[in-house]
Amino acid sequence: MGGVWAPKPSPGPHKMRECIPVCIILRERLKYALTGKECMQICMERCVKVDGKVRTDHNFPAGFMDVVEIDKSSDRFRLMYDTKGRFVLHRINRDESLFKLCRIQKIYITGNKIPVAVTHDGRTIRYPDPEAKANDTIKVDVSTGKMSDILKFELGATVMLSRGRNTGRVGTLMHIERHDGSFSICSIKDAKGHVFATRLQNVFVIGSASAAKPLVSLPKGNGIKKTIMEERAEAEAAGRL
């Protein structure tokens, strides 16, 4: 980015440290604008949708699993992480842009005896399916906000890490080590057979144990982290070095 001025994300559904403002997407990633002023104009012309809603705030925070749509250019992206923990705009088709996955952070009963599920992107879903529990992932229809499928947090599920050192890695949940009063630890094995561990709250289920593949398509690399030697060999083969 040029200059010392960086846009601060507005208060919104994602934490400040876990989101990216819409103007960064437009200016730095998609190159649709050259300046912040142009980003503002694009947003004020109601060109940008996040999760099916037009967002006119150019600093609106878009976060993990959000669907960003620009109808004028027929662009649809899902915000995911690469294996280095950076946000990546993963291009998706129309069918996939109709839903998103939300991790249930907690479920509680309100003062009026209404059960409510709170998701990682700040949604409160009233009267959730009684089968849904904290740490599970639900499939949410972007247009209505209603939940449909439940991906249970269980051994054998396909998971993606949304925080920590292994952010963006995808694998199969192998083992859960419970530590009451402290952080529970999960062991995950990726498609190459590498096993790594992380805290339970960093784990985001993207495919059920019974399904062969995850519900959402994955960005380039399929969430498999390469060693620096593998990266170098690949760059040499491609002629980048």
What is the per-residue pLDDT for 210? 86
80 Cβ contact partners less than 8 Å away, ≥ 6 residues apart: 64, 65, 87, 88, 90, 160, 168, 216, 218, 219
Q: What are the pLDDT digits (tens) for 147-188?
A: 999 999 999 999 999 999 999 999 999 999 999 999 999 999
- Residue 75: the pLDDT is 92
Mean pLDDT of the chain: 93
Write b or e for each residue in 64-75: b if 16 or more Cβ atoms lie within 10 A of its Cβ, otherwise e: bbbbbbbeeeeb
Residue 131 Ramachandran class (φ > 0 left, ψ -120 to 50 alpha, else beta): alpha
Nearest to 58 by CA among 34, 41, 76, 77: 41
pLDDT in tens, 99-155: 999 999 999 999 999 999 999 999 999 999 999 999 999 999 999 989 999 999 999
Can you give the pLDDT at residue 2?
60
Give the separation between CA 98 and CA 215, rounded to whole angstroms.
12
Closest CA to 88 of 64, 111, 70: 64
Q: Count other Cβ atoms within 10 Å, centred on residue 55.
A: 20
Segment 26-35 mean pLDDT = 93
Residue with tokens 């289920």: 205
Q: Are 170 and 224 in contact (CB under 8 A)?
A: yes
Asked whether 173 and 135 are in contact (CB, 8 A), the reply is no
Per-residue model confidence as pLDDT tens digits over 61-103? 999 999 999 999 999 999 999 999 999 999 999 999 999 999 9
